[in-house]
Amino acid sequence: MVILEHTSRVKGKYLELLGNYNPHQKEFKVKKDRIEYWVSKGAQVSPTVNNLMVNYKIWDKPKMQSWKPKKKTVGAVSAPDAKAQAGGTEQVKELESQSVSGRATPIV
């Protein structure tokens, strides 16, 4: 966890190192006093860091939603769309049969 300016790159130079988290060993080390100092100066904590601090009982704030659920996509094709697609393939077959029969008309 680091503190950085909002105009700087995410992986760029940071102002201060505030802690780290190792998810494999479930090890979470933070400088609570420095985080509280920066929050009092107007810094914002990301939802993920906020939830980690709540899980490890570092502060008593409510959890935030750190991800957005994906929108459900409609996989089925409606009846009018299916008819339009079927009609389109018939036209292609008709044009292919005309070109095979020896007509010299360009297909546009």
CA distance 83 to 85: 5
Q: Residue 97 contacts by C-beta under 8 Å, 6 or more apart in sequence?
A: none
Which residues touch 30 (CB under 8 Å, ≥6 apart)?
A: 1, 18, 19, 53, 58
Strand partners, 29: 20
What are the tens digits of pLDDT across the range 12-66? 788 899 999 899 998 889 999 999 999 999 988 889 889 988 988 888 888 888 7
Q: Write down the pLDDT at residue 94.
A: 65
Q: Does the structure show a pLDDT above 60 at 77?
A: no
